[in-house]
Amino acid sequence: MNRISIFMLFAAFIFSVAVLHPPAAKSAAIARALEAQQSQQAAPTIAAAVDREISGIEKQIVEVAEAMPEDKFNFTPENLNIPGSEYKGVRTFALQLKHVAASNYAIWSPLTGEKFPENYMGGNGPEDLKSKAEIIKFLKDSFALGHRAAATLTTENLLQDAEHSKSSRLHLATFGVTHAYDHYAQMVEYLRMNGIVPPASRGTRS
């Protein structure tokens, strides 16, 4: 067999391997199969979507709580005596945190069926919680309840009224997030009034 024949056989072999078993095509096919498998395993759910929203506001509020020095936990804008302002009687920073936590229990406990503690009544939580550590623990525990509440949501029950409530399960689950963001915005201003840049704004121009 001459050199030309050998070369042509070798070229034909290479061509058949490239056509029948193209490496790039095989890699792309494998990648698509893995992606499809992962997509099926992590199919989005209502519970997961709400839980993600709860995690978002939980991180924001816990960060501002940890950023405020303990000796400023009783601060309110009323302390500044700003001319023309009207801050008389507004909640202290500590009460803002306790109010969010107590409200979380009130809003989310109907979803889990857990009993709402009587000493959480009144909107500001237990009066005996005074230290920064105690208040932050109360706050974190309330968000843990939120995660349990989110886990109860299904496509079948999300529009049903929660037990002992006239609101749908979806409304209560999401209202807890909305309410917490409202008070987060106020706490951000409390930090700035004390010369503290909120953690979420550090490293930015905001």
pLDDT tens-digit series, residues 70-97: 999 999 999 899 998 999 999 999 999 9
Asked if residues 94 and 61 have their Cβ atoms less than 8 Å apart, the reply is no
Q: Note the pLDDT of residue 12.
A: 52
How much is the pLDDT for 36? 61
Indicate the pTM of the whole model.
0.76
Q: Is 91 left (phi over 0), alpha (psi -120 to 50) or beta?
A: beta
**pLDDT tens, 162-180?**
887 888 999 999 999 999 9
**Residue 92 tokens, joined:** 């202290």
C-beta of residue 62 within 8 angstroms of C-beta of residue 139:
yes
The CA distance from 98 to 106, in Å, is 12
Considering only CA atoms, which of 205, 190, 204, 200 is closest in space to residue 74? 190
Of 135 and 25, more confident: 135
Proportion of the chain above pLDDT 70, given as a percent: 78
**32 pLDDT exceeds 90?**
no
Report domain extents, the chain.
3-40, 45-201
Per the structure block, which two tokens stand in for 167?
């609101």
Q: Which pLDDT score, from 0 to 100, does residue 121 have?
A: 75
User: Kindly report the CA angle at 40 between 36 and 41, in degrees rounded to 5?
Assistant: 115
CATH 1.10.287.3510 is the classification of domain 45-201: no
Mean pLDDT across the chain: 84
Confidence of residue 8 (pLDDT cuts 50, 70, 90): low
In the block, tokens 């698509």 appear at 32
Return the pLDDT at 10: 46
SS (H, E, C) 12-24: HHHHHHHHHCCHH
Q: How far apart are CA 69 and CA 124, in angstroms?
A: 20
